[in-house]
Structure 1
Amino acid sequence: MATECMFSANYAINLSFAEDFKVSGMTPPSAGFESLDSYRQQATSSQTVKSECNTGNDGQALQAKTTSTQVKDATINVTFASGAPSLIAQAFPTTYTGLYYWVGIQRDGSTADPTDYQTCVQKLYGALPPLRLAEVVLADPGDANDKYCMDGKAWRFWVGLAASSEYRAPSSPAQFKSTINPHGNFRISGATGDKDQRIVTVQAVDIQGTVSA
């Protein structure tokens, strides 16, 4: 029988970090945006987000949509993890001109379970997409691995920094933070047809940091 997967509930989460971001020695791109891969942190979610599966035909695609009304469409290419292909994400502005961030999700897990890590963790991830796009599919474990990868599993969140060509290093250290709320949502459901209505809404992302020359 067919299996469908979804998040276990409607979640409205806030993200925070164990450490402040400290940015220095950065050269802005000549145009557009540039992901700052060394400034990526796993976030602490205000709720533990889990998914589940049952019998049905609604699918198991991980999807996302940016819903913020406080941002303009801004596309950035980001590398979610070492060795992973780049993907596009929405660039959210911080309070420091030219300094942005992106928000991502990933199935939780570790290399302690190599099969799970390779089959699920390394494949089920993505970021809130550019604002201009409708809800987009980020990843899909496929019918063979949907229950194995998603039933009773937890999810984690990542935030990485990015710079635009507007960025200029300050003459003295300056503070920055994020003020966007909400950011967007993630869903697990079929890519077409019926949609499971349970979503993960990313509300505030409590970025605090210092930028210096």
Structure 2
Amino acid sequence: MAQECMFQQTCTVNLSFLSQVNAQAAPTPSSGYVRIGYFPNLDSNIAIESYCNPGNDGQALLGKTNWPNADYTRSVNITDSYNHTATAILFNTTYQGLYYTIQIKSTTCDDIYGYLPPNSGEITLANPGDDRDVSCMGDVNSHELWYFCSQLYIGPQFVQPPTAGANFSSGIEKHGTFRISGATGDKDNRTVQIGTVQLNGLIKA
């Protein structure tokens, strides 16, 4: 029987790092972007759950960016251990040339995840297919939990910090949305909107 999957509810999620972020600077790249930190399990103010039930709208994880000041040309390609490459938009911090990504991940299936992309329209980020939809996205009796991660990157505009380090934060209040395609035919599309990201840290030379 065909299944369609969706998030449990429409919500706006405000994310925060569980503690101060400490990052070690790397040499400023002449082009492209260099990752200097990975931070799993960002704290959110709500539990994000999904489930599947009989239907024909599918199980694709979708995403788009709606940051009002987005530079859609500033993005990074990230290849995982499954040799799958995803493209993530880079959001500004208050420190010049220092950026971050936003990622949502299935708790059960390591390969079912998505980054907010450099696209203002929805694109497919991951799809478990008909053979793994329930195991990766849950069912009505056993919902799947999702969590959030972030990575820090530096680009060519990065200025090396002083010896004592430099503070940085994020003041962006609207990032983007995630959705699972099974909600397409539902009157409530059940999007997960990423609102604020509370990010405070110290980058060291």
Give the TM-score normalised by structure 2. Answer: 0.89
Work out which of the residue numbers 86, 89, 114 in structure 2 matches 1:126.
114
The within-5 A match list for 1:3-152 is 3-36=3-36, 38-73=37-72, 74-79=74-79, 85-109=84-108, 121-131=109-119, 133-151=120-138, 152=143
CA distance in 1, matches of 2:94, 2:16: 17
Unmatched 5+ stretches in structure 1: 110-120
Classify 1:86/1:27 alpha carbon distance in 2 versus 1 (closer, same or farther; 3 Å).
farther
Distance 1:141 1:30, change over 3 A: same
Deviation, structure 1 residue 190: 5.2
Output the amino acid matched with 1:127: Y
Task: Give the residue type in structure 2 aligned to 1:98.
Answer: G
Residue 9 of structure 2 aligns to a residue whose secondary structure is coil
Change (3 A) 1:14 1:35: same
* 1:160 corresponds to: 151
Distance 1:91 1:106 in 2: 18
**Which runs of 5 or more residues in structure 2 are unaligned?**
none
- Displacement of 1:65: 0.4
- Check 1:33–1:7 CA distance in 2 against 1; reply closer, same or farther (3 A cut): same
2:179 alignment partner in structure 1: 187
3-state SS in 1 of match to 2:136 = helix
Alpha-carbon distance, 1:15 to partner:
0.8
Q: Is the 8 A contact 1:105 1:158 kept in 2?
A: yes
Conserved in 2, the CA contact under 8 Å of 1:33 and 1:162? yes
> Sequence identity of aligned pairs in percent?
38
The offset of 1:52, in angstroms, is 1.3
Distance 1:39 1:97 in 2: 19
Distance in 2 (CA, whole Å) between partners of 1:158 and 1:84 is 19
Aligned length: 198
| Aligned CA-pair RMSD | 2.0
For the 8 Å contact 1:103–1:158, the answer to whether it is kept is: yes
Q: Deviations over 1:72-93 (max 9, x none)?
A: 11111234x5565332100001
Paired AA for residue 204 in structure 1: T
Q: Deviations over 1:153-182 (max 9, x none)?
A: 110100110111000112242110011111
> 1:197 maps to which residue?
189
Determine the C-alpha separation between the residues in 2 that align with 1:185 and 1:108: 19
Q: Which amino acid aligns with 2:90?
A: A
CA contact 2:177–2:193 (8 Å) conserved in 1:
yes
Aligned to 1:116: none
